[in-house]
């Protein structure tokens, strides 16, 4: 590799690192818009859950075939990219297959493994495109799910097509390199007897037999550049894409809720008011933390529930960036199945869209950017919120433990407690709970009358 190519490579690498760093800072800042919440407890249990769910893809294997396909594309793409280390060093130092002479017995085995995985990724990406556009899996169709219309479908197609392109570039680069090595051309020939043919790319070699040495070198260099520049471009693109879950899936699962799925968190502000009304000792501050040891008074309450992303918890916002839009939550949602407008996937996409709009505001109008929009109303409607039955099906279905229900509950609490916008049937239920300690309009003393009637009918 000549000095010009080295300079060009270093410039491309530096540009990608700079841009990715910029995006990571923006995304981190957006997540930090959320309210603080301690998720550092039970480190051992959190690690166990992360290894099972994020790394082991446990939830994906509820459908074994799809689970295996996803694991191939997930693990394969990550492991293949280990080779990027050698490619980057080759690009910086102007070398060719830098590691080959130093790990001669292991090197061919490593590349063989990478090639098998690359072929698996290629095949699975083709299968996933077929699932979208030929067999037309319901939860992936924009015609049936309005949140997928426009960019989301294009995003998925771009990602799958890019991965196919990158794997083809990788395999044909190895094949053309092998032919040059066999011919003993230049520095390629120096590895004759050290690097053998590789397991998959050897079957692509006949395609290059008619190429002249000059044409073959040109193709090898083009494939090398397309592969590495494609990976750098992919890394930048992922920060804008739903495939950001490649990076955020692990921390998202690690910090996910360890409480039983049916347990809902009480609002500390309301708990405090109930404790005051009943003359009980206070155990929490309005923000949910334990009382300060120094005896300071609790901070002023901002609002009940959440109206915008600023009112949500930081883990809710990380959930939104971790969503891969697979639609398993929506497919499991009974409200969506029965034709209601609620789609848990849309709740997460809308939350992320709101944060992305705020980021654009920071970039165009400065760090003090504010607008007249809010997550509730401008992105998510009351009709969607009211349709939720809180059954937890969406949480159970998510492969990376995202919790759309938590966002729904916080937005719904704001509508009920700040805007008094609960449906009439809800208000009746609230009144019954307050007066009768149950959702039904029966006094506690009459609650078991039905049992007496059952006993009477059985005695007859």
| Tokens (6 digits) for 95 | 């070398």
Span 380-389, average pLDDT: 94
Query: Taking Cα atoms as reference points, which of 356, 391, 398 lies closest to residue 256?
Result: 398
Helix orientation angle between 404-417 and 344-365, rounded to the nearest 10 degrees = 80
Residues 6+ apart with CB under 8 A from 46: 254, 255, 256, 258
Span 174-190, average pLDDT: 93
Confidence tier at 193 by pLDDT (50, 70, 90): confident
Task: Please state, in angstroms and rounded to a whole number, the distance separating the CA atoms of residues 77 and 72.
Answer: 8
pLDDT tens per residue across span 326-346 = 999 999 999 999 999 999 999
Given this model, what pLDDT does residue 353 score? Answer: 95
Confidence tier at 251 by pLDDT (50, 70, 90): very high
Given this model, what pLDDT does residue 295 score? Answer: 39
CA distances from 267 to 273, 281, 303, 409 (A): 10, 17, 11, 11
pLDDT tens per residue across span 435-458 = 887 888 877 777 778 788 777 777
Task: Map out the domains of the chain as residue ranges.
Answer: 3-31+63-254, 268-444
Given this model, what pLDDT does residue 285 score? Answer: 53
Span 235-239, average pLDDT: 93
pLDDT value at 292 more than 90: no
Query: Taking Cα atoms as reference points, which of 325, 245, 321 lies closest to residue 77?
Result: 245
Task: Please state, in angstroms and rounded to a whole number, the distance separating the CA atoms of residues 298 and 306.
Answer: 19
Q: Which is more confidently placed, 299 or 228?
A: 228
Predicted TM-score of the model (pTM):
0.85
Task: Please state, in angstroms and rounded to a whole number, the distance separating the CA atoms of residues 228 and 217.
Answer: 17
Given this model, what pLDDT does residue 129 score? Answer: 94
> Where does residue 169 rank: exposed (0-12), middle (13-18), buried (19+ CB within 10 A)?
buried
pLDDT value at 111 more than 80: yes
């Amino acid at each position: 590799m000549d000095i010009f190519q080295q300079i060009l490579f270093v410039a491309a690498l530096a540009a990608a690192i700079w841009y990715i760093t910029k995006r990571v800072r923006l995304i981190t800042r957006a997540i930090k818009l959320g309210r603080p919440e301690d998720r550092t407890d039970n480190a051992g249990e959190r690690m166990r859950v992360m290894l099972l769910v994020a790394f082991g893809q446990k939830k994906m294997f509820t459908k074994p075939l799809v689970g295996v396909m996803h694991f191939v594309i997930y693990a394969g793409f990550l492991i293949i990219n280990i080779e990027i280390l050698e490619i980057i060093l080759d690009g910086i130092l102007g070398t060719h297959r830098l590691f080959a002479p130093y790990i001669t017995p292991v090197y061919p085995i490593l590349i063989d493994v990478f090639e098998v995985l690359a072929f698996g990724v290629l095949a699975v990406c083709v299968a996933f495109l077929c699932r979208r556009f030929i067999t037309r899996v319901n939860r992936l169709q924009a015609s049936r799910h309005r949140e997928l219309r426009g960019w989301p479908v294009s995003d998925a197609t771009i990602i799958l097509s890019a991965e196919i392109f990158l794997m083809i570039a990788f395999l044909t680069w190895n094949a053309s390199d092998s032919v040059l090595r066999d011919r003993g051309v230049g520095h390629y020939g120096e590895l004759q007897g050290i690097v053998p043919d590789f397991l998959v790319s050897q079957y692509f070699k006949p395609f290059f037999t008619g190429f002249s040495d000059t044409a073959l070198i040109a193709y090898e260099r083009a494939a090398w550049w397309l592969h590495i520049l494609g990976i750098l471009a992919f890394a930048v693109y992922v920060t804008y894409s739903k495939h950001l879950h490649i990076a955020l899936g692990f921390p998202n699962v690690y910090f996910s809720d360890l409480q039983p799925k049916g347990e809902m968190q009480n609002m500390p502000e309301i708990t405090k008011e109930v404790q005051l009304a009943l003359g009980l000792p206070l155990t929490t501050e309005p923000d949910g933390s334990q009382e300060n040891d120094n005896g300071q008074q609790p901070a002023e309450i901002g609002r009940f529930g959440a109206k915008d992303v600023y009112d949500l918890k930081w883990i809710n916002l990380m959930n939104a960036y971790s969503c891969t839009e697979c639609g398993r939550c929506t497919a499991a949602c009974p409200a969506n199945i029965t034709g209601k407008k609620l789609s848990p996937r849309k709740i997460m996409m809308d939350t992320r869209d709101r944060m992305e709009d705020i980021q654009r505001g920071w970039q165009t109008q400065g760090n003090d950017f504010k607008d007249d929009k809010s997550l509730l109303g401008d992105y998510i409607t009351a009709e969607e919120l009211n349709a939720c039955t809180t059954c937890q099906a969406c949480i159970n279905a998510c492969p990376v433990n995202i919790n759309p229900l938590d966002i729904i509950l916080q937005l719904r609490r704001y509508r009920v407690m700040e805007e008094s916008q609960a449906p009439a049937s809800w208000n009746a239920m609230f009144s019954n709970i307050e007066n009768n300690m149950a959702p039904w309009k029966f006094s506690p003393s009459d609650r078991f009358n039905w049992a007496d009637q059952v006993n009477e009918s059985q005695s007859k």
